[in-house]
Amino acid sequence: MKKYLVIGNPIQHSLSPLIHNYWIKKNNINAIYEKEKLEKASLKNLVSKVKDGKIHGVNVTIPFKKDIIPYLEELTLESEQTQSVNTIYLNDNKVTGHNTDIDGFRLAIQDIKFDISKKHILIVGAGGVVPSIIYALMKMNVNKISLINRTKKKAEDLKKLFKDLNLINWDEIQNFDMIINATSVGLKINDELNLDLSKIENNKLFYDVIYNPRETNFLKNAKTLGNKTENGKKMFIHQAAQSFKIWHGIQPEINEEVERLLD
Annotated catalytic residues are 65
Angle at 157 between CA 72 and CA 46, to 5 degrees: 20
Helix intervals (H) in the chain: 16-26, 43-51, 77-82, 101-111, 130-139, 152-161, 217-224, 233-248, 256-261
| Contact call for residue 184 and ligand ATR (CB under 6 A) | yes
- Cβ distance to ligand ATR smaller for residue 90 or 193: 193
Sequence-separated (6 or more) residues with CB below 8 Å from residue 194? 170
| Contact call for residue 127 and ligand ATR (CB under 6 A) | yes
Query: Considering only CA atoms, which of 92, 72, 95 is closest in space to residue 83?
Result: 72
| Contact call for residue 150 and ligand ATR (CB under 6 A) | yes
Query: Considering only CA atoms, which of 57, 123, 54, 126 is closest in space to residue 91?
Result: 57
- Rounded to a whole number of angstroms, the minimum distance from the CB of residue 41 to ligand ATR is 17
- Cβ distance to ligand ATR smaller for residue 161 or 250: 161
Binding residues for ligand ATR, rule CB under 6 A, total 14
| Contact call for residue 151 and ligand ATR (CB under 6 A) | yes
Backbone angles phi, psi at 113, to 5 degrees: 55, 40
| Contact call for residue 149 and ligand ATR (CB under 6 A) | yes
Contact 206, 222 (CB under 8 A): yes
| Contact call for residue 104 and ligand ATR (CB under 6 A) | no
- Rounded to a whole number of angstroms, the minimum distance from the CB of residue 222 to ligand ATR is 17
Using a 10 angstrom Cβ sphere, with 0-12 exposed, 13-18 middle and 19 or more buried, the burial of residue 52 is: exposed
| Contact call for residue 128 and ligand ATR (CB under 6 A) | yes
- Cβ distance to ligand ATR smaller for residue 54 or 188: 188
- Rounded to a whole number of angstroms, the minimum distance from the CB of residue 115 to ligand ATR is 27
Give contact residues for ligand ATR (rule: CB under 6 A): 62-63, 125-129, 149-151, 154, 183-185
